[in-house]
Amino acid sequence: MDDAVIAKVARSVTREPSLPLMLAEVARLLADTLGADGCLAFLADSGGDLVLAASHPRPAGAGAPLRVPEGSGAAGRAAADGVPVVLVADRPRHPLHRELLGLSPGQPVSRLCVPARVAGGGSSAVLAVHSRARREFGEAEVDLAQRVADLVGLRVSVAAALATMRDHQDEWDAVVAGAVAAQEAERRRVAADLHDGLTQAIASLTFHLSAADVALGDGDVAYVAEQVAAARSLADLALGETRSAITGLHSPVLENQGLAAGLTAMARAVPGLRVDVDAAEFPVPHHVSTSLFRVAQEAVHNVVKHAEASRAVVRLARHGHMVLLSVTDDGCGFDPPDEGPAYGLRGMAERVHLLGGRLRIRSGPGAGTTVEVTVPIAL
């Protein structure tokens, strides 16, 4: 008899794809087998409260589900202690609970509550069998109910583990997508830098050299000298552009001497703007210093491009296990958007998010801008 019931429960637990339908089916099987009036099935939520997931024979209803606070009532105690609770004359107070049990005012009920125990401690669900006629649930009945509940517990644990895995997978997919998008955006930025700086300089350089070549044939030495001088200054410009494109991509100073030195070198290479650096050198994990360097670089880049500022300051400091980086300018300021189409600010936010840190932009029209980053590091 018991084995036949356990086999039916096992079939439902392993084959019914919907958790509430499986619980409803098991509640019905258990109540019928024990000759009880019905059975409620609760699931434990992340806070330890029990939430009604299925009810036999009265359906759970469409409204807010019945909740049993952690540790309270017969079901709550069964979940908290991980042992069956038998009450011969229980008087649940909650009106919805009384309605589900089919009780008239003041009427007591006999109950058997069994926890679905989870390996490693705790309970993931409770099956609560009830009988309106006074009844003692015997040892064999309690044992059977507990075996059923443990099968249910197995299924609930597997479902929870699968849901957690899916969440992790979604988070990981988002991280990978963000990293790929960031990589693509940096590639586009490098292409734009090369196009705007280097290619233009080399195109003009070629033009001046051709002009010098033609003038050489004509014997116009003064014009040749003029063209060669123009070509030389363009070659210098191209060299400068190449250097700054390379520092933009890769900072040997950052790698060899640390973040403070890297920021100082980056600030010195900024064209047409005074950038002061107030940075202490302290050990920072490599991936953190690379990310902070990129954030500072983009923030300074933005000052040059948008702020019309006369001065910017880059600060780097450590407070306990937090690293603080800020870039402040005295420029025109702007209204920081929540989320913009441009890559710069979004890229900064993504980098900081990946490090578990916080990015704040304080700015307003006419008030200058401060980009502030706080990132935790292990000491």
Ligand X SMILES: Nc1ncnc2c1ncn2[C@@H]1O[C@H](COP(=O)(O)OP(=O)(O)OP(=O)(O)O)[C@@H](O)[C@H]1O
Q: Which residues make up the interface to ligand X (CB under 6 A)?
A: 302-303, 305-307, 329, 331-334, 340, 342-345, 369
State which residue, 149 or 371, has the beta carbon closest to ligand X: 371
The CB-of-361 to Mg ion minimum distance in angstroms stands at 12
> Residue 326 touches which of ligand X, Mg ion, none (CB < 5 to 8 A by kind)?
none
State which residue, 38 or 333, has the beta carbon closest to ligand X: 333
The residue sitting closest to Mg ion, measured at its beta carbon, is 344
Angle at 229 between CA 226 and CA 235, to 5 degrees: 145
d(CA 153, CA 354): 35
State which residue, 302 or 369, has the beta carbon closest to Mg ion: 302
Question: Strand 274-279 relative to strand 67-68: parallel, antiparallel, unpaired?
Answer: unpaired
State which residue, 116 or 299, has the beta carbon closest to Mg ion: 299
The CB-of-120 to ligand X minimum distance in angstroms stands at 47
State which residue, 116 or 295, has the beta carbon closest to Mg ion: 295
Task: Count the Cβ atoms, other than its own, within 10 Å of residue 335.
Answer: 8
> Residue 288 touches which of Mg ion, ligand X, none (CB < 5 to 8 A by kind)?
none
The CB-of-346 to Mg ion minimum distance in angstroms stands at 10
Cβ-contact 300, 280 below 8 angstroms: no
Output the six-digit token pair for 349.
């936010």
Residues that bind Mg ion (CB under 5 A): 302, 344
> Residue 303 touches which of Mg ion, ligand X, none (CB < 5 to 8 A by kind)?
ligand X
The CB-of-306 to Mg ion minimum distance in angstroms stands at 7
| Beta strand ranges found along the chain (DSSP E) | 38-44, 50-56, 67-68, 85-90, 109-117, 123-131, 274-279, 311-319, 322-329, 358-363, 369-376
The CB-of-73 to ligand X minimum distance in angstroms stands at 55
Q: Taking Cα atoms as reference points, which of 277, 322, 257, 4 lies closest to residue 144?
A: 4
The CB-of-199 to Mg ion minimum distance in angstroms stands at 21
CA distances from 11 to 26, 162, 232 (A): 10, 20, 84
> Residue 122 touches which of Mg ion, ligand X, none (CB < 5 to 8 A by kind)?
none
State which residue, 92 or 331, has the beta carbon closest to ligand X: 331
CA distances from 366 to 329, 336, 362, 363, 369 (A): 11, 13, 12, 8, 9
